[in-house]
Amino acid sequence: MDAFLRGAKRKSSSITQDPTPSDDESTEVKLAMLASLVPDISQEALLDTLLANDGSVDQAASSLLAAEIEPKKPRAALIVGSQTSLRAFASKSCRTEGTGMEKRAKLLTKKGSTLYLYEPEEIAQHTPCTIILNFLPPEEANDLLCEMLEESKSFGKATFKLFDNVVQSPHTSSFYLATEAEVNIQKHDYFYYGGRLADVRRITPQLLRIRPKVQEAVNREIQERIKTCYPGGKKLRYQCPDAWQPNAAFVNCYNGPHESVGYHSDHLTYLGPRAVIGSLSLGVAREFRVRRIVPKDADNATDDADAQGQISIHLPHNSLLVMHAEMQEEWKHSISPVHAIDSHPIAGNRRINITYRDYKPNFHPMFTPRCKCNLPVILRTVQRKKDNQGRYFWMCHRGNIPGKEKCSFFQWADFDDDGIPSWDKARYRKAPADQAPAIRLVEKQ
């Protein structure tokens, strides 16, 4: 698949002797078979058609050949963010008749494989994300990029402890807030990886300028997600019904192809459960990879992080990715290092990523529990154990500081169905009889 994306010449294979693969074949094998039958179509277009036909090579080939598509002509110049789709040639609809709900297409990923997605519709269908391409007017996107490139010259790398080793983050970052008062509160009251943030800054003019646009777009995407993807057209359990209001922004800079971030879920401690994050990409295009967390049970005792493969989402310049309410609890995400990237005319080899977040006032550290170390604790979710999957808990995270050890503090979290914590007496409605796992999306078929 990497060879396909690099445009490398396809090697011949005896696989073309049998154009009817089984459902267990990997995506790469199916694409190779389809390419041998329809050799003049781009790999991205072949993948679109394969997805639209539920992974059937025969049906995908038939729809392409019947349309009598002319060979693809080379483009004179690369257009950042350009997409190609053959959705019109699909032989099956993804809409479930009479329900008003979109049928989730069968995933073509399997253990050890990667599915590459480019189309916004398919990203929304197969992942916990939606994407808006060409989000800002070009001049605004470039002004913001230039401002952040200048800011990033003084970004630093976070230092923390990982498996008893002291490590640095593989990219640089900083944190932005609207007022000087908020900056001072953040530096004094809030803890990350067991320690305080040293680099907290006032929001810049361009960040402030585009914030309302991000807020409007994300709220629109949230409502569309609820209406079209969630069971019964209702929000998820523990998802806050309030409008999303971005009041903080982490800005990351990836300088060159080797700077990255490994698979992780973002901290929910100050965002609350079922958090939504708006992520704006500027500069060099990179691949954003996601994978579903597979819990362990009696039938699945192995801790295999790649049990269902991974999905790669292409993030071009000026694209807004919305990580929806199911993302942090049920999926992990990363930016993988690559061998080479196509430089951007303004950013060169650098990618700027701005993640707008809604810090909830009722999750301020003055309200959250404190551990035996007298530090605010971190909010996490049971992800790997099926019996308690979806339950939230508080625990000490002082052990992330080099030279420090964490205490044994552990406490189950108590939220109502709107994600309101029990200490918020004015809004907390009821304590569930038991912290049952949160509502799940309908499993992909």
184 forms bridges with which residues in the sheet?
Answer: none
DSSP annotation string for 92-161: S--BPTTT--BPPPPP---TT-EEEE--HHHHHHHSSEEEESS-S-HHHHHHHHHHHHHHHTT-B--EEE
Q: Which of 28-32, 155-159, 171-175, 251-255 has the lowest mean pLDDT?
A: 28-32
pTM of this structure: 0.74
Cα separations in angstroms, 393 against 179, 414, 423, 438: 31, 8, 15, 13
Cα separations in angstroms, 441 against 231, 290, 430: 7, 16, 24
- pLDDT tens column, 5-39: 333 333 333 333 333 344 444 555 566 666 666 66
pLDDT value of position 409:
94
- pLDDT tens column, 218-266: 999 999 999 999 999 999 999 999 999 999 999 999 999 999 998 999 9
Overall size of the chain counted in residues: 445
> How far is it between the farthest Cα atoms of the chain?
70
Q: How confident is the model at residue 2 (pLDDT cuts 50, 70, 90)?
A: very low
Q: Which of 93-97, 133-137, 433-437 has the lowest mean pLDDT?
A: 93-97
Give, rounded to a whole angstrom, the gap between the first and last alpha carbons of the chain. Answer: 24
Spell out the SS3 assignment of 19-37: CCCCCCCCHHHHHHHHHHH
Q: Which of 166-180, 219-233, 264-278 has the lowest mean pLDDT?
A: 166-180
* β-pairing verdict for 350-357 and 310-315: unpaired
The amino acid occupying position 333 is: H
Average pLDDT, the chain: 79
Q: How confident is the model at residue 162 (pLDDT cuts 50, 70, 90)?
A: low
* Alpha carbon distance 424, 421 (integer Å): 6
* Alpha carbon distance 44, 82 (integer Å): 11
DSSP annotation string for 385-442: BGGGTT-EEEE--GGGSTT------EEE--B-TT--BTT-TTT-----SS-PPPPPPP
- pLDDT tens column, 299-315: 555 555 556 789 999 99
